[in-house]
Amino acid sequence: MAACGDEAALAPGGDTTIEDRTSQAYRLPAPNLDADALALHLDGDVAFEATFVTAPAPVNGGLGPVYNHTSCIGCHARDGRGLPQIGTGPTSQSLVRVSLAEGTPAVPGGAVPVPGVGAQLQDHAIFGAALEGTPTLSWTDVDGAYGDGAAYQLRAPQLAIAWSEEPEGAVMTSLRQPPPVFGLGLLEAIDEPTLTALADPDDRDGDGISGRVNYVWDAQLGRAMPGRFGLKANTPTLRQQAAAAYVNDMGVTNPMFPEDDGAIEIDAARLDATAFYTATLAVPARAAANAAANRGEQLFDQFRCTGCHVPTLVTGDSPIAAVAHQTIQPFTDLLVHDMGDGLADGRPDFGADGREWRTSPLWGIGLAETVLVGARYLHDGRARTLDEAILWHGGEAEAARERFRRASSSDRAALVAFLMTL
Amino acid sequence: MRYSIALALSLSLAACGSDGGTVADFDDAALVADFADQVAVPTYALLDQRAAALEAAAVALEAAPSATTLEAAKAAWVATRSPWEQNEAFLFGPVSSFGYDPAMDSWPVNTNDLEAVLAAPDELTAAYIHNLPDSQKGFHTIEYLLWGEGQAREAEDLTARELTYLTGLSRELHATTTALAASWTTSVDGRTPYRDVFATAGETGNTAYPSRTAAVQELLGGMAAICDEVANGKIADPYDAHDPNLVESQYSYNSLVDFQDNLRSVRNAYTGAVADAGTSGRGLAAWVAERDPALDTRVRAEIQTAIDALAAIPAPFRDAIKDPTAYAKIEAAQAAIRTLQQTIEGDLTATVLP
């Protein structure tokens, strides 16, 4: 609980915190970078904004042949979340992960790729190339009621894919809305013992919340490491996250994921700058809290939202000095949890099964609508409001959700008021 | 982004005063509302009006290609470009959320796929053009077709398909400016008009701008950000590399005008007025002048100095970055813009949001 005067709570990124409550709040460099680090960050800023085009080109060649978007910011506008828009044309921002239930995974423990497609549907292509398929997204209403009888309506996504070539076998799909990219260096700097100490895979403490580390393949080390990034924590490092996004989202080969013959379209310096950029974006300071928000923060703990959305963590050693040994308030445990049938995608991703999702960091979530008009929440953007996002929680979070659903309208509003200060 | 309008940490700590009271919000609601009504909305209206004229010029060019109609289309492009560049001090809200910015202003042009589309038999319907990647449409693709590499384009060079494509791109650009303008003034897809979102900053239930302080911080941050972008991005990236391939608006040789319009965008946001649209309201300038007239004078002078310094660089910018006799003027312009940026980040922010 962040009492008045608790500076750590008001500075959720530790020394990387920036005082900004505007649309720029996710895209600012950590204020504690030294001159060399800032210079590398700014190189990464340029790389993150770069639009790729069909090679050969004097600038930014290498797009495709198949891809989801042409730039990083094309999906992470202002370094924040994207919209749940998918399909033909440049406004498509979400993507669909795909895999088969049976077969040989691409890397040990990973998803089984769909032949001819891989583990991600590339729904765009450069001129003359064949895209893999065209997804369409529609929504169905789901009715519900609060404990006090007030009705609410949620919406669930319905995804359909028109394949360019119908794949053999049953394809499992998972729709993903782009998440924000700030504060990630801090999450990378949380050491493994901290994560394993938070995990409780067999729920030995009997609180109904287990929480597991998703051990995933580290392409650089060639072994399994704790997953931290991605909505199912399927990626261990920011360098691998950036490299995978280049090759899969934009079709840009790179030193970690080159062409079969070793050819690359961006060099290591550019890849490293992009990864460094996402590692060193500042975390926005919390907004001033009124009485309702302060009460909401107490309720957030009383409802045991904090069982997974762990308020405070301490980072360990890091090659990036600015993110090392910081007391932070990400409101995540970086673990994967069973979130119930309603949110299940039925598509395992390394150790995360078809019902498990990584606890999303909540820092900065109160700025979502400031950064992105029409911002949506949860892994696929189904939730139009924070209330809806809470109401979708199930599985290990069902008890906490029920405390919220059955709470008075003023308590519910207080809890959301607290979230809006983050 | 290189920096932020860094409010003192005391802002949030002050919210937790010993009496549990909350910090006072920025006191001038009219200023925030006037920015929406007298700056943002008229800028987008002017953009839409000029994009309509560009579309008409493209239609006329396609109907009767000649040196005259080509020049008219180029002039219409330059005229449309101006209000676009004058929106770059306030790229928040719908313009960045709904893909309007990349749809209009993506760079570089994907010339390979552009040439492939021009060589293909595909019918250039409105839907086809709408779904093209942003790097094959918008200002810079239109510019590429109108001027050509090295400004070598003659009207008789333009093929029938290029003319049709130009018309289609101009129509698509106009559709985008219409949607952008509408997003501020009308309810689209059930959303609150963005004018209402911004103008009601600080009112209960406003989830985008829960305080007027945040709205004013948005204005100051946007003003500083475009200074940074012009001095340290648009100028520095091509200048430091001496590479014309990195220059914005390089086909039209309009780069220096773009940059000056960016500084005019700062002036518009600061004064609450858009000279080209004939609108004016209560701006930050008036608020500052009432409290610190010397600072107001200084901010206005630094904006004008920066514009003048940009105008002093010999055009075209793509040649100046490789011409040692122009380097001093380029660096003087960067210095003038950085001075303004420091004033915005420093004294201006300290005065407006102490």
- What is the pLDDT at residue A162? 97
- For the cut 90, the answer to whether the pLDDT of residue A267 exceeds it is yes
What are the pLDDT digits (tens) for B190-212? 899 999 999 999 999 999 999 99
Which of B113, B114, B130, B219 should we substitute to test contact with A (largest number of A Cβ atoms within 10 Å)? B113
Which residue's structure tokens are 């005229």?
B79
Same domain, B123 and B62: yes
Q: Which residues contact A296 (CB under 8 A, 6 or more apart)?
A: A411, A413, A414, A415, A416, A417, A418, A419
What are the pLDDT digits (tens) for B131-159? 999 999 999 999 999 999 888 899 999 99
- Which tokens sit at A299? 């309720």
Split at pLDDT 50, 70, 90, the class of B24 is confident
Other CB atoms within 10 A of residue A65 CB: 16
Same domain, B186 and B222: no
ipTM score here? 0.95
Split at pLDDT 50, 70, 90, the class of B222 is very high
Q: Find the mean pLDDT for residues A64-81.
A: 97
Same domain, B143 and B238: no
Classify residue B15: in a domain, yes or no: no
Rounded to whole angstroms, how far apart are CA atoms A31 and A22?
16
- Percent of chain B exceeding pLDDT 70 equals 94
Q: Calculate ∠ Cα A320-A324-A328, nearest 5°.
A: 130
- Percent of chain A exceeding pLDDT 90 equals 96
- For the cut 80, the answer to whether the pLDDT of residue B2 exceeds it is no
Do residues A322 and A41 lie in contact, with contact meaning Cβ atoms separated by under 8 Å?
A: no
The partner residue sitting opposite B194, judged by closest CB among A18, A53, A373, is A373
Classify residue B11: in a domain, yes or no: no
- What is the pLDDT at residue A263? 97
What are the pLDDT digits (tens) for B239-274? 999 999 999 899 999 999 999 999 999 999 999 999
Same domain, B276 and B346: yes
What are the pLDDT digits (tens) for A133-180? 999 999 999 999 999 999 999 999 999 999 999 998 899 999 999 999
- For the cut 90, the answer to whether the pLDDT of residue B12 exceeds it is no
Q: Which residues contact A163 (CB under 8 A, 6 or more apart)?
A: A132, A133
Same domain, B337 and B310: yes
Q: Which residues contact A289 (CB under 8 A, 6 or more apart)?
A: A2, A297, A418, A421, B15, B16
Decide which of B174, B198, B222 is a domain's last residue.
B198
* Pairing, β A66-67 against β A133-145: unpaired
Largest CA distance in chain A: 63
Structural domain count of chain B: 2
- What is the pLDDT at residue A3? 43
- What is the pLDDT at residue B3? 54
Other CB atoms within 10 A of residue A119 CB: 22
Same domain, B134 and B52: yes
Going by the DSSP 8-state scheme, the letter that residue B26 receives in this structure is P
Other CB atoms within 10 A of residue A220 CB: 13
> Closest approach of chain A CAs to the CA of B248, in angstroms?
12
Q: What is the CATH classification number for the domain harbouring B119?
A: 1.20.1420.20
Split at pLDDT 50, 70, 90, the class of A1 is very low
> Closest approach of chain B CAs to the CA of A43, in angstroms?
10
Instruction: Tell me which amino acid residue A274 is.
Output: T
* Structural domain boundaries, residue B227: 210-352
- Which tokens sit at B32? 């925030």
Closest CA to B6 of A133, A21, A76: A21
Rounded to whole angstroms, how far apart are CA atoms B188 and B195?
12
Closest CA to A176 of A261, A76, A319, A58: A76
Q: Do residue A19 and residue B111 have CB atoms under 8 angstroms apart?
A: no
- For the cut 70, the answer to whether the pLDDT of residue A198 exceeds it is yes
Decide which of B166, B198, B230 is a domain's last residue.
B198
Going by the DSSP 8-state scheme, the letter that residue A234 receives in this structure is -
Split at pLDDT 50, 70, 90, the class of B23 is low
- For the cut 90, the answer to whether the pLDDT of residue B20 exceeds it is no
* Pairing, β A313-314 against β A283-284: unpaired
Q: Do residue B94 and residue A373 have CB atoms under 8 angstroms apart?
A: yes
- For the cut 90, the answer to whether the pLDDT of residue A400 exceeds it is yes
Split at pLDDT 50, 70, 90, the class of A6 is low
Classify residue B79: in a domain, yes or no: yes
- What is the pLDDT at residue B189? 86
Q: Find the mean pLDDT for residues A356-384.
A: 98
Q: Find the mean pLDDT for residues B70-97.
A: 98
The partner residue sitting opposite A90, judged by closest CB among B14, B22, B102, is B102
Classify residue B262: in a domain, yes or no: yes
What is the chain B residue with the closest CA to A55? B112
Is residue A150 classed exposed, middle or buried when 0-12, 13-18 and 19+ CB atoms within 10 A define those classes? exposed
Same domain, B173 and B261: no
What is the chain B residue with the closest CA to A281? B1
CA A232 to chain CA centroid, Å, is 8
Decide which of B198, B222, B246 is a domain's last residue.
B198
Rounded to whole angstroms, how far apart are CA atoms B42 and B38?
6
Angle between helices B160-185 and B41-63 (to 10 degrees): 160
The partner residue sitting opposite B210, judged by closest CB among A18, A59, A420, is A420
What does the domain layout of chain A look like in residue ranges? 7-419
- What is the pLDDT at residue A10? 80
Rounded to whole angstroms, how far apart are CA atoms A52 and A58?
11
Q: Do residue A22 and residue B22 have CB atoms under 8 angstroms apart?
A: no
pTM of the complete model: 0.96
